[in-house]
Structure 1
Amino acid sequence: MKHILGLASVISVFLFVQTLSGAIITVQINDVIQPIVAEYVIKGISQAEAERANAVILRLSTPGGLDQSMRQIIEKILVSKVPVIAFVGPSGVRAASAGFFILLSADVAVMAPGTNTGAAHPVSITGGRFDEIMAKKIENDAAAYIRSIVTKRGRNFQLAEKGVIESKSFTETEALNNNLIDGIAKDYDEIISKFDNRELVRFNGDKQVLKLKGQSLRDFEMSFRQRILTEVLNPNIALVLGLIGLLGLYIEFTSPGVVLPGVVGGVCLFLALIAFNLLPINLLGIVLLIAAIVLFVVEAKVAGYGLFAALGVLSMVLGSLILIDSPLPEMRVHLTTALGVTLPFAAITIILLRLVILSHKTKALTGIEGMIGEIGIALSDIESEGKVQVHGEIWQAKGVHPIHSGEKVRVLSVEGLRVTVGRV
């Protein structure tokens, strides 16, 4: 019986491995390339390697992204044990900037009709001489990087360099005719049909024949954590979460025991900090946001007739717009978001601060100042000085005329810890 069970287990494992080894894993890049996208792509290729898949199809639809994330993806593609087919599709999409680098780094590069790629010039740095030198260094580094990859892949490195240095873009036909890509296909099925049995020379020099026909396509999906963090890494969402977090914590600190604003604020601020830790942050943007909050506080405390509030709004809008240090519009806070978030935040912050200030003033009036006119009892004879009890508290008292112990007295004034009293 044990032998039968053992044999059954071996057969099951064999069949399972056979099933896995016949798959083509598809991985999708549908947005800006950032750390979570890089993590997802790398895990997808690693999963394909673990399952001994026949190939990975990496579908690209991206405006570009962060240089470090792009390089992590390319590094994984170049050392992958499984051939990677990069596919710009479906029709109407692009693989610009970092997407151009990734496309040309793949074992097979394919584009759908009506797509484009290129425009891969690195972050432009303008300003003084130092900035110009740095810009040239970054440009040369990017050009050398794509040249080293494309040359090894046997593609047109001169034209690839133009995509970097001159920000040149290419349609799918231009890319194919100029030996930047390997083919044009409208979908996965056409890729399989065109490139089945194609002999590849891998990046390490090994030869391998693609076996694509008859293999099942299986999507490798983002984990729940990756999907959440991808949304959080949207600069617009990160900004909103950060401001909601600050408001929530402020309400909790000024009104202890409410709980909900503190919990919501803490979670939002935590997510925002994760995003800001992963995104390229401009310190000047942070300074402007802090300055805006300070101006809102000043507006609440001083009768500035809206001047400080207006300056605060301007500072927060500018700070929001330059908060993320990226040349890609998709990686920056939109003007509509900056305005839509700043105005309500300013109004709510100023109102809450004024309520707190008013509350403190009211407490002062209902405390020591509020004792004037209150009735108490003399605890001793008061010739010039003595003791009285008011609201259960014992005070040093000065009488405007002699008062006997046990008589009711009225508080006429308060000076520090001494009250002036008279008979009722």
Structure 2
Amino acid sequence: MPTIRMLIFRMVLILPVVGTLRTRADEDQMNPLPSPPPHYERVMIIPIHDMIEPALLYIIRRGVQEALDIDAQAVVFAMNTPGGRVDTTEEIVELIEGIRVPTYTLVERNAISAGSIIALATDHIYMMPGSKIGDAMPIMASPQGGMQSLGEAEREKIESYVDSLVRGIAQRKGRDETMASAMVRRSVEYKIGDEVISPEGQILTLTHLEAEKQYEIDGVMRPLLSEGTVADEAEFLSLIAAPDAVIQRVEPSEFEQVARMIAAIAPILLTIGMLGLWIEFQTPGVGWAGLLGALCLGLFFFGHHIAGLAGQEDLLLFLLGIGLIAVEIFVLPGFGVIGLMGILIVLWSLLSAMTPTLPDGSWMPDFQNMADPAKRLA
């Protein structure tokens, strides 16, 4: 029968072991082992480049649909944007949050303003060297270019709305709400423990090194925002995709490129449109100034819808040709260049509609296949 001295001796031996086990368990909680990297077999890459505007939404919608079509296991948004429209950003966020497979943002250079909001809506964020993310304070753009000044009440109303938007996204994705709010409001100080990340009076914008810095948050060591820095897209794909994975990339169609170009020159279109109408009012009668003004204003207000017209090129060319012929008959005296252009465009549209084309994304028909349709049209 063991003596009391022997029992005490055994307890002395056991307690250090138990203490060691507890210490290691605490360390494991503070520094959890990284989960094994995924190895997706099918990955869709969707670009988010330049301004966030309605024409870009068409590209992203098409990319998400193509991801569904190929049964993609992950969707990557390759991002380099200075920001853009809040309404379009909300639609993109809603679209991303509806994707049922893991989503990634790869910040190539800038995820600023609306770009940072979209990045927050994805499941994972990676960044390239020299890239930045944040600065989501809303501004009001002027139709003529530049920024409009806002009163205190107007600014508070807009900031409050965007602040609630980013905090809601952060809540749904398990990210720090205060960090998201600090990207929108100057009045928010963001700190972790005693370290001030973004002082009051400054909008939070993070470099790739700051975004990947590890902090103890809720008792767990984790990066502030970015899960890592990669040298390029190839290194990023090597982390998440299988070596023989199918990588599909969304490329903007011709109509989508035109729509994005129209969005880029929208202030110029508005200026020319208003000037054309003013000249027309000063000189009564339907002339070139009025037609040009109406065309520019039409492109300004409806140009982004052109991105959704892919596949209707022949019909659009036909209607354009008919329109030019109508202008020649009812507006301009005689029958000259405009009417001839209209006839040629109508003939081209009919010939193109009768010519088989391959689904390669190009709207130009194969000239070698035009011989038979040309004979039938003649």
TM-score class normalised by the smaller sequence? 0.5 to 0.7
RMSD: 3.2
**Compared CA separation, residues 246 and 179, structure 1 to 2 (3 A):** same
* Residue in 1 that maps onto 2:161: 141
* Residue in 2 that maps onto 1:62: 81
Residue 25 (structure 1) aligned with residue 56 (structure 2):
no
Q: Please give the secondary structure, in 2, of the residue aligned with 1:114.
A: coil
Alignment partners' CA distance in 2, 1:44 and 1:126: 37
**Compared CA separation, residues 241 and 187, structure 1 to 2 (3 A):** farther
* Residue in 1 that maps onto 2:136: 120
- 1:46 deviation in Å? 2.1
Matches within 5 A, 1:5-404: 22-89=41-108, 93-123=109-139, 131-166=151-186, 167-177=203-213, 178-196=223-241, 212-234=242-264, 235-239=266-270, 242=273, 246=277, 254=285, 267-275=295-303
Contact 1:45–1:82 at 8 Å: present in 2 too? no
Instruction: Please list the CA deviations of residues 30-78 of structure 1 after superposition, one character each: whole Å capped at 9, or x if unmatched.
Output: 2110111122212211221222112221111111111110011111111
Instruction: Please list the CA deviations of residues 98-137 of structure 1 after superposition, one character each: whole Å capped at 9, or x if unmatched.
Output: 001111111111111101111111237866xxx4234223
Alignment partners' CA distance in 2, 1:188 and 1:23: 15
Q: Please give the secondary structure, in 1, of the residue aligned with 2:244.
A: coil
**What amino acid is aligned across from residue 32 of structure 1 in structure 2?**
M
**Large movers: runs of 4+ above 3 Å:** 124-127, 243-256, 260-269, 275-278
Tell me how many residue pairs correspond in the alignment. 234
**Compared CA separation, residues 241 and 40, structure 1 to 2 (3 A):** farther
* Residue in 2 that maps onto 1:303: none
Alignment partners' CA distance in 2, 1:123 and 1:94: 18
**Compared CA separation, residues 248 and 80, structure 1 to 2 (3 A):** farther
Alignment partners' CA distance in 2, 1:264 and 1:132: 39
Contact 2:270–2:297 at 8 Å: present in 1 too? no
Alignment partners' CA distance in 2, 1:26 and 1:252: 53
* Residue in 1 that maps onto 2:218: none
Contact 2:89–2:118 at 8 Å: present in 1 too? yes
- 1:164 deviation in Å? 1.4
**Compared CA separation, residues 151 and 254, structure 1 to 2 (3 A):** closer
Alignment partners' CA distance in 1, 2:227 and 2:85: 26
Alignment partners' CA distance in 1, 2:286 and 2:116: 53
Alignment partners' CA distance in 2, 1:132 and 1:277: 35
**Compared CA separation, residues 227 and 253, structure 1 to 2 (3 A):** farther
Contact 2:273–2:295 at 8 Å: present in 1 too? no
Alignment partners' CA distance in 2, 1:138 and 1:263: 37
Contact 2:55–2:305 at 8 Å: present in 1 too? no
Instruction: Please list the CA deviations of residues 311-357 of structure 1 after superposition, one character each: whole Å capped at 9, or x if unmatched.
Output: xxxxxxxxxxxxxxxxxxxxxxxxxxxxxxxxxxxxxxxxxxxxxxx
- 1:261 deviation in Å? 7.2
* Residue in 2 that maps onto 1:297: none
Larger radius of gyration: 1
* Residue in 2 that maps onto 1:12: none
Alignment partners' CA distance in 1, 2:305 and 2:258: 15
- 1:146 deviation in Å? 1.6
- Please, what TM-score do these two structures have when normalized by structure 1? 0.49
Alignment partners' CA distance in 1, 2:276 and 2:247: 42
* Residue in 1 that maps onto 2:8: none
Alignment partners' CA distance in 1, 2:305 and 2:92: 20
Q: Please give the secondary structure, in 2, of the residue aligned with 1:61.
A: strand
Alignment partners' CA distance in 1, 2:305 and 2:45: 29
Structure 2 gaps, min length 5: 1-39, 141-147, 187-202, 214-222, 307-378
Alignment partners' CA distance in 2, 1:221 and 1:263: 34
- 1:254 deviation in Å? 4.7
* Residue in 1 that maps onto 2:346: none
Contact 1:59–1:88 at 8 Å: present in 2 too? yes
Alignment partners' CA distance in 2, 1:245 and 1:269: 10
**Compared CA separation, residues 143 and 273, structure 1 to 2 (3 A):** closer
Contact 2:57–2:92 at 8 Å: present in 1 too? yes
Bigger relative contact order, structure 1 or 2 (CA pairs below 8 A, ≥6 apart): 2
- 1:22 deviation in Å? 4.6
- 1:232 deviation in Å? 1.0
Structure 1 gaps, min length 5: 1-20, 197-211, 279-424
Alignment partners' CA distance in 2, 1:261 and 1:77: 44
